[in-house]
Structure formats: structure tokens, C-alpha cells
Structure 1
């Protein structure tokens, strides 16, 4: 209906008088008024009471047909009735003091404001519109198609079919997208619940799992600034418990930031060079708190899989396999050259079929996402190094969080007391400020790291450690220096190379992290990442330090050096070894052997590696020299050919001139030659027969 001036009017349940529709410029009320339905300021077209009763409603809020009763409200278990007369009340859900309409449970004395009561998507009485908690205006159902070029504001995809639309704001929602729960609990964030938000409220925020921008709907914890995409990340997390890291590693595809793999150092996800995309793929394992990342190929994997590319089961192994010695390596699944640095899946029964991981990645991902259960994962050498965590992910996440809380309590826990007892033999600690501060930090955190151990060594122990690690630099003889000349294939070349290894490297390296947590293994302790090396060392060779008379503190640090060196050797391919790296390995192992460690097996293996390194360098030198010769020979051949042509031309000219000089000449030329012979020493005016001028003294 309309009034005499043609204004639209509405008889609303909030007032006995009609409400008239007015524009924003007509509302001259100070302070600004709020809508009695949604509680927001009336800054646009709205309805007001014609009798100036103080009733104001947004146009969409006034025209929305509110259900008389709500029986499924999240905030109250009883049925709620619509209270149509505006009053002041405190919402029992959000705690705000509001003046307006509300839903009421009279027996319980509960008041819920309209926004909280309609927090879930509810249809209005006319079934043609809904009130959604994420938007202040009602949505109407319209039938759209991709031709309309309308995007869903939640998922950013085209709307096709029945769609919720707010024409006032030009906002659309898929019906499925409007059904997201307003509040959830997720195992990735157990501290607080997550609430549904639109991207407009969190510009610049990124998803905790995939690190891509939160565009559209996402679940968010405002307290922690924690976000998850609603469509692809909520409830989709798969995790791996990896021995090399204290937290769970989450499986991520197409990560939205540039990160590097902690194993190989190469870029992960979108940062991978195009030429490496096929080999490394888009999947990684990542610990968000530590930003610790691993390529799928660099982390633990299912040891045996069954894939459609081959009839038999495939087993995870290092590449290349034992009988491969070519310079080119191919994947039998795609028949394309593969990277020999990456592990492969090889046919167990026949041993001839090889598939790179990128060709069986769909099957590998099925294992890592827990489709086959919480299975154990291995490294290419067969060592168990992790486990899939899917079924009990919330419980495991909670256990890890609790363990972290215990670890960093001010009081020491049992584990740290055991670690601390290692150092009860120390009768005297250093009295400087650094050692005292380090000890204080260790006691407060309950966490023992290698840095603390070094600072707690007594003066005698420090001297003992320095003596063990002291390396006398070998002077390189002139014969060794001159060995670079002559044939590439003389034994003297390798002898000189081996002598050079005994000299100090230009860049001394530590193969361990002084700030990493120390873990007990038998009566020793090493950084957590080196535990597998020490355990396998004991299993295969026993206590290699048993015959030494070293003090316990020094012995522990030497075991850290040994395990760090062996770990570095294990992680480095021979073709990636540098001379400095090899010299570091050589000097560490030589020092440990001199200290009495029974590591001849490691020395012998390193000698073989050194020979292989020398062979690769020799091959590279020969190859480079051959390449240079192959470039130089054509170049100098062309120069020789040009000089030869020039020489022939000069000889021809010489012969021609000699022939002409000795041959018969014309009378004119003969006369010229005769006069030249007769007159060369005479004066030019001598034939004129005149008296010459006198030479006078200068005045």
C-alpha cells in the first residue's frame, strides 16, 4: 500500500501504526538509529513509523517474513517464539544488550536476538526467501545459469541452477554453500572453535593448511588468527608422524607460499622450477608451526604399493638400483628420462620395472591420506620412519600439544631429569656468565640441547675435546702440486689427492644442530634427528667407543660428530660432493679413529667414496679437456687454413716478381732502370752545367 504522497507503506507486527519507506537522506535523527530486527545502523532505505514512534527497520528486515517459532536453535534446546513488540533485553547467546524484536522461551526466561536465533539458514514462511547468518538481508531463490556470469560469494565458482540471491547487494550463494555450519571444531586447531567468515572480514589472511589466500568463505579463529578454507581444507587434513620431526607433518597440495625442502634444499610447491615439476610434483609434507617441509619423495613413503602401471607389487628403493650404471635413467611407466637422485618404486619379483614416484603419485597419496588405514611408512632403505595419522588425528594432535606443554613447563619432567643425570659426573661447571645463563635457560625449559652440553664441559674436558679434534695440516709437497701436469691417468694424481684430504678444509662444517633437543640412546644422547643413525650404528657395530678412555661428556659429543658425519654422508649423493665436504668427512672420521673409535668400516667406505669422487672429477676434467680440444681444433684449423692460403699467395707473388725482374723488359722500363743506376748518387742539378751558388757565412 502507499500513502497520499505515493510512499510505500507496510503494516508491520512491531507497531500498531503503518510504516513508511524512506530514503537515507530523509532520516534526520541524532544519534543514528538502529534497526529493531538486526541491530545494525539504518544507513540506507528503511521503514519508519508514520506516527514517529521510534520504530525503524531496514527495508529487507521489514519485508522478511520471520518464522513464528524456531525449534532447532543452536543456542537453546526448547522451542522459541517470536516476540513482536520491541523491548530491551540481554541476548542469552551473545550477551549483548539490545532493543528490538527477539525470540523468547517463556518457561526458561531465555531471550535470543534475531541474528543469533537465525544463525542457521532458515526459510521464511513464504518459502521463497531465507535469512542467513552471514548476511544482514534475506536471500531469495532464483534459477541461474553460467550464462548469467554470477559467482557464488562463498566458493567463487559460477552459480548454475537454484541459487540464493540478494539483489540489493548483488550477492549470490549456492544452496549447498549456504548450508555450512556457522561454528565447527577442527583437529588442526583444538584450542578454540572456528567460526564461518567471509573474505571481506579477513583481507590478506591465508589458510593454515594450504597457505593460499582466504578468498570466499573460511573458518576462522579471531583469537589466534587461524583460518581454514571451507571447501578444500576443513576436515581434509591428513598427517604423518615422522621420526625426524617432533610435530605432525600435514599433507598439502599446491602450497600458496614459497618454501624449501628441509631434506634436499630445493623449492617446494609453486616454487619448483618448471623443468622439475614432473619429478617433484605439487604435494609436500609440512609442519606449519616450524615451517618444516619435505617433498613427498624426500619423506617417508609406503614401502610397498600396487599400481595399475604394473602387474606386480612395487617396492620403495633408492635410485639407481644396483645394476644401473648408465648416465641416463628412464621411468618404465612413462618412458621418460627420470632424475636418478630421487627414490623409485621397483618391481620386487622381476626387479626390472622401475617407476618414478610422480608416475604412481595418485596411489601414494591414497596411502598418505589414510585410505588404507594408519599404516607405517618407510625410507628407501626399508627403515621405518613414520606413520600415517588419520583415524585418530584429533587424539594424536591433543597428545602432541600436551607433550609440548609438559616439555616447556617451568618444572622439569621425568625425561629431562634423566637427561640431566648424564651430567651429574661433572664436578665443576664453568663460572662465566654465558654458562650460567645457558644452565638457567635449560633448567627453565626442561629441554637439554647440545649447546648446553658444550657449555657444561669442565676445563679438562674441553682440553680433552680440543686435543681429539686437533688436526695437523699436512704440507702439500711440490711433487704433489706438480701432479696436476702430465697425464690424467697416473697413480700419482690420486696419491696427491689423498694427501690433500689430510689438510684442513677451507670451510669447516658442523653436521648437527646445537639448538636441537637431545634424546637418550642407551647411555648416550644425540640430537633427535640423529637418533636413527646412532641406533642402527649400535645394532650393527655395537659401542664403537668401548675401548676409549675418554670422559663421558667428550664421548657424547664425539658420538654427535660421528652420527652427524654419517648422516651427512648418507644424505649426499657422490656426484653432489664438494671437495670441502669430503675433507670435512675425512678429517672428522680420522680424528675419531685416532681417539680410539672403532670406525674402520666407515674409513674404508669413505675411501671408496673418495675414489669415486676422484673418478668423477677425473671424468669431468677429461670431458672438459676433450670438449675444449674439440672446440679449439676447428677454430685453429680454420686459422691454419687461412694462413696457408695467405702463404701460397705470397709465394706466388714472389715467383711472379722474380720472373719479371729477370725477364725481358720494354725499352722505356730499361731506360728508367739504367738512369736509376747512373744517377742515384748524383745531384739532381748536376747535368744543367751552371755555376752553383756560394755558401756564405751567416751574418
Structure 2
């Protein structure tokens, strides 16, 4: 059975009775298990649940009776329309799923809200809930404490709840945490301040939250059920006592060689009696590499594309250098901000890192399922980090809305966020080297976060253009030599040119 779908006109979509990939549906953004449609010509792309693929192109809906609504995909429109029609007028939430919209009134309703039942049974309430009228009305949700437009109500208890809150399960699993999270009233989470959601790194200000009491891990209701955060597994088969720490938190991560990645050719005995690998064969290079501590000037590691630090391996036949830590990276790695396992590879040609958006080359971690690629620097960022530019600890955050970096003002989904204040760093700024060299300049440049003096006149000594005093810059204190960070690092600092 085939279907010609409006979202993918170049090929028909083919019906599959029992899809098991778990890939995200292009319509509702939820994982696909069961009956589905997808494009076989494009290797399973444009995958939809059967119900999402068969949605009508037009709809008359009681929540907006004056005009017909048209099926709409935010990704196919410009940024202005995308932002305007991503927010649902029924649930009040932003989402990139298909919507029905009215261009005359700027009315928008998510497809999941357009098909809500008049009566439902939910895990969060003992009685059946009823939507008595399809009419927008203001109310305060008794479950999360937030305002809404169209409630489900319980006649027996005078209880009103958002449709999205009603869909919350009592337990769920997120990729960012090893244990299941339980629906918990906020008052039962004993902390001095409001708990912090470890997914978006903002305070939880709702009446209920998802919580792991073993690890003091809290999450917003809506953050936990986002498709890129929620892990769809059988919780009955998950034994909490057998949960182990993920590889990303493994203290032994860089302590031994992965024989599939790196083979030890020669060793020597260290002063403490441990074996030291003095010669290796790494999969990223055709020649053997030898351990050395003689650091060449202005040389970068071919793995992470950062300045070479001792100890490292080098090739005696060509200019190939590899940090000892980079040689010990595991072949398979779980990343806290990505749902699938990532595989280590090496790419001499440039690529775009999914986390920081920069052009890079060298060692990469790639998702074999989605094709998403990350550079090593972004992957190695800790879940929690201390950065010299800020007084508080920062946490990795990934939301469905862009967050503005406090350093460069760019807006990104992947950021390092402060839980105490509104300070945010995108991955590009968080991974900037603290020390850098420039051409034949005899001294190193250090990264500065505030103006070097109070003169009020700030210029770059390289391009001779004016500097924004609010922007970070590199500075040689020995020579009183300030410069734009792009002038010091170059346009593509994470790309190493091969000789």
C-alpha cells in the first residue's frame, strides 16, 4: 500500500505494518513503533505513524468554528511563520510538530490537541475526566499550577487539568539519567530553594515534577516528556538496583586503550611500575605513532584540533600529532544530549558539529542511526563544569527553544546554563581555548572576559578594527596586545589543514 504525502511529493510513502526503528515521526515527533508510512527510496526518511500520515489536509474544529484550518509543517516555512505557528492556542506550548492553522486569525492548534477525546482516563487522577465543551476558556491547572485555555475536568472532584498534563505517566525514563523518574509533588522535594530541572537547567515552579530521590535528580513535567529527552523503554523490565553509571560518567574512560581503536606496539616500564605505551598504531593514521614530550610551536592535535600538550604521540614520517588522551577515546560512547550510542571515527574532510555548529575535522563521534556528527571537544564537555568567565557552576542544557549565549549573543539549542542566574554559554564559547598562539608572536595570548583597562577605547591590534568591550577577546599582557578572538583563532579554528 502506498500513499502520496504532501510533505514528500518526490516519492510515494510505503506502508509498513510493524515498524520497529523507533525513529521520530515527522508529524507528531514521537517514536514510531507499529503501523507506519515511510519513503523507501530515501532509506526510510519521511517516516510517519499511520494516523499522522493519514491526517486530513483541512479541518473544521469546534475550538475555532469561524474558519477552516489547514495542516501546516513549521519546518517548511520561513523563520517568522515558524515561530508564529509553533505555539498552540489550546495547550499554550511550543512544538515543531504538525499543526492546523488559520492564516486569517493566526490561530494554531497542534495535531495532538486537535484530536483530543471528550473523555479520558489518566494515570494522574482516579476518576474519568471530561471535556464538556470545545471552547477556549481560562483556567488554572490543578496538577501543574499553570494557566491554560481548554481543561479536562472531573465533575466529582472539581478537578481541572491541561490535556498535556493528563498525558503524563506516573513513571518515565529520560536519557540524561540512569534511573526512572517518578511523579512527585514539589513540596515533597526537600531542598532549600526550588529544585532545578536538570534537563533545561531552570527552576521547577510547578506543583508536580519528575524526580529521582536516590540521586536528587529533578525535571519539569514537559521537559521530561519531550521526544529528545524521553527514553521509550519497558520500565517493568528495568531493575533500579542493577542500574549502573553511564560510560560518560565512567572514571576509567581514559585509563586504558580500546584495542579496536588503538593497538600498542611498544611499551616501557614507568617509575611507578606501570606499563607506558611508547609506540602505538591508531586507526586514524596510516603510520605508527611514538610517544614524545618535545612540543613543536603552534601545533595542534589531529584528533581534537586543540593545541598540543604533553604527553602526545607523533608520526616521524609526517606532521601528525595525537594527544595521549585522544588515543584512548572509546569506540562507542553514550552522550547525555543524544538519544543513541555514538561511534568514534576520523574525518579529514570538514564537517559541521551538531552541538556547536562549527566547521571541524579530526576525530568525530557519529550517530549511525541519524547521521548526526559531534566533534570531540563538545562530546568531552562535562555535564557540570566550572568556567573562568562565571562565578557559578554551569550545566549542560538542551531544550526545544533557542537560548541566547551571554558571550556572543548567538542563539542555540545546546548550551551550558547557570542554575543560579540567567548566564548561558553556547558550546562554541564554552570550548574556546584559554591560551592560544598567533603566527610568530613570541608570547601566548590568554582569553579575557572583561576589558583590560578603563580607557573606553578598544581596538584589535591585528585588524585595527574597534572591539566591543562586552565581547571576549585574546590578550598578550607582555606586549599589551589585544585582539579579536576570530583574528587570533581564525575563521575555522577547529579545522586543521593537512600538509
Taking structure 1 as the reference length, the TM-score comes to 0.21
> Comparing both chains, which one has the higher relative contact order based on Cα–Cα distances under 8 Å and sequence gaps of 6 or more?
2
Taking structure 2 as the reference length, the TM-score comes to 0.29
Q: Going by fraction, where is helix more abundant, 1 or 2?
A: 1
